[in-house]
């Protein structure tokens, strides 16, 4: 399977998004602590690794770990706000280190909205420059967007602008806001959208991209809000193909291995013909209303065919619908509620005195930012003073 694993190489950032679900922690990574995580993905037969954060380009060893993962045979990607990637020399350095693809996060092409979401002015121009410098360096460039209350009404405007002015961007990814962690959890009222808030603009965005021959994925959005584009759902694709996802969190959660893609459903979902392949509503923070979900009565085979017959996904072997149905039925019959058996967990990062000091300094700085921008600061991850000497 073409599984992609995630490594959070840092958890600090040079932006201050009010809906950040992975804010700063006292944990630190070094090249020596990241290498075993890469080795584990190789051992599991993963296709690639996504280096993320925080803002991963703030880690001085990012090129080195990218080179290590590339040399191990992994397809290496990063998720970035684009601040450092906008520097052509840095973009070339990442390309030389083996990074193949950069997901640049852009939430709104309206500068004032983007600045409000980022917590800093001028971030849009920098992110747009990153699209061009990355492309010039030979990197494939995608755009990532977190759907939230402030951009929900103009997702289509975003893609129309980007495809017109930055035609090198061929793939777009949307993640509906995760309201369950970090600042996102304590600022739900400001940033969490209703599903109905983005339904029309998302559909218009997807239609525009599909008509123009571009590709896209949508995560944490139930199939009843994806119209005719159910095949683009990240959860549905993983359910259909039986894929897993491992995230090495640089915090107390450590490694999370996800094989269950079912989230929250309404009572009416039991009658939905798409229920077996729908991830439902991602809502561990109790911020969304399941009453917005509505059962669909359409043939799921068209969605399944679009996924298993996708020519851009050569790693999946079952191209025949009948063969897929037999395999899927066998998977359902064998499914249990138990977590998959695994080896002893690999430590993710370290708690050090220096890391704790830097984290508390970051907390003080962000407390001032939070007050100035009218958002709440997330609880202190180091409140128990659990950092140990290096």
Instruction: State mean pLDDT over 116-130.
Output: 96
Give the other-Cβ count within 10 Å of 31's Cβ: 14
Task: Please say if the pLDDT value at position 384 is more than 80.
Answer: no
Query: Is 260 in contact with 209 (CB distance < 8 Å)?
Result: no
Domain count, the chain: 1
The CATH number for 95's domain is 3.20.20.70
Q: Has residue 268 been placed in a domain?
A: yes
Instruction: State mean pLDDT over 70-94.
Output: 98
pLDDT of residue 2: 62
Q: Has residue 382 been placed in a domain?
A: no
Predicted confidence (pLDDT) per residue in 254-286, tens digit: 999 988 877 889 999 999 999 999 999 988 778
What residues contact 234, with CB distance under 8 A and at least 6 apart? 217, 218, 219, 220, 279
What share of the chain in percent tops pLDDT 90? 85
**More confident position, 3 or 215:** 215
Q: Has residue 183 been placed in a domain?
A: yes
Mean pLDDT of the chain: 93
pLDDT of residue 302: 96
Predicted confidence (pLDDT) per residue in 172-194, tens digit: 999 999 999 999 999 999 999 99
Instruction: State mean pLDDT over 53-73.
Output: 98
Q: CA torsion, points 195, 199, 205, 207, in degrees to nearest 10? A: 140
Instruction: State mean pLDDT over 9-13.
Output: 97
User: ∠238-240-246 over CA atoms, to 5°?
Assistant: 20
What residues contact 207, with CB distance under 8 A and at least 6 apart? none
pLDDT of residue 340: 58
pLDDT of residue 138: 98
Please, which pLDDT band fits residue 383 given cuts at 50, 70 and 90?
low
Longest dimension (CA), the chain: 59
Query: 164: exposed, middle or buried (C-beta count within 10 Å: 0-12, 13-18, 19+)?
Result: exposed
Predicted confidence (pLDDT) per residue in 301-340, tens digit: 999 999 999 888 766 777 789 999 999 999 888 876 555 5
Closest CA to 85 of 50, 108, 57, 51: 57
Q: Has residue 223 been placed in a domain?
A: yes
Structural domain of residue 69, as residue ranges? 4-373
Q: Has residue 356 been placed in a domain?
A: yes
Query: Is 253 in contact with 12 (CB distance < 8 Å)?
Result: no
Q: Has residue 381 been placed in a domain?
A: no
What residues contact 311, with CB distance under 8 A and at least 6 apart? none
Q: Has residue 35 been placed in a domain?
A: yes
Q: Is the pTM of this model over 0.85?
A: yes
Q: Has residue 387 been placed in a domain?
A: no
Q: Give Cα separations from 313 to 2, 176, 253, 308, 317 (angstroms).
A: 8, 24, 31, 8, 9
Q: Cα 181 to chain center, whole Å?
A: 14
């Amino acid at each position: 399977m073409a599984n992609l694993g995630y490594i959070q190489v840092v958890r600090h950032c040079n932006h201050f998004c009010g809906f950040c679900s992975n804010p700063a922690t006292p944990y630190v990574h070094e090249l020596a602590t990241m290498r075993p995580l890469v080795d584990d993905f190789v051992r599991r037969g993963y296709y690639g690794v996504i280096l993320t954060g925080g803002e991963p380009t703030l880690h001085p060893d990012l090129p080195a770990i990218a080179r290590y993962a590339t040399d191990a045979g992994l397809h290496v990607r990063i998720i970035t706000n684009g601040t450092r990637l906008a520097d052509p020399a840095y973009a070339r350095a990442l390309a030389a280190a083996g990074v193949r693809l950069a997901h640049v996060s852009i939430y709104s092409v309206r500068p004032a909205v983007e600045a409000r979401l980022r917590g800093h002015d001028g971030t849009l121009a920098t992110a747009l420059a990153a699209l061009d410098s990355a492309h010039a360096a030979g990197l494939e460039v995608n755009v990532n967007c977190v759907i939230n209350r402030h951009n929900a009404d103009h997702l289509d405007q975003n893609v129309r602008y980007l495809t017109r002015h930055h035609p090198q961007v061929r793939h777009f990814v949307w993640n509906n806001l995760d309201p369950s962690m970090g600042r996102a959890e304590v600022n739900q009222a400001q940033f969490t959208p209703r599903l109905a808030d983005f339904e029309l603009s998302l559909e218009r965005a997807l239609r525009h991209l599909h008509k123009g021959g571009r590709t896209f994925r949508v995560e944490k959005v139930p199939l009843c809000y994806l119209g005719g584009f159910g095949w683009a759902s990240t959860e549905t694709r993983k359910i259909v193909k039986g894929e897993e996802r491992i995230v090495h969190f640089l915090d107390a959660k450590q490694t999370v291995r996800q094989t269950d893609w079912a989230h929250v459903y309404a009572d009416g979902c039991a009658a939905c013909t798409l229920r077996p392949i729908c991830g439902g509503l991602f809502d561990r923070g109790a911020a969304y209303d399941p009453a917005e979900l509505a059962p669909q009565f359409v043939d799921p085979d068209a969605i399944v065919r679009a996924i298993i017959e996708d020519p851009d996904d050569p790693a999946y072997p079952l191209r025949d619908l009948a063969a897929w149905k037999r395999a899927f039925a066998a998977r359902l019959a064998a499914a249990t509620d138990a977590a998959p058996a695994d080896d002893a967990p690999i430590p993710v990062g370290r708690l050090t005195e220096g890391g704790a000091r830097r984290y508390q300094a970051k907390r003080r700085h962000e407390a001032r930012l939070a007050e100035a921008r009218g958002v709440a600061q997330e609880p202190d991850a180091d409140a128990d003073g659990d950092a140990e000497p290096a």
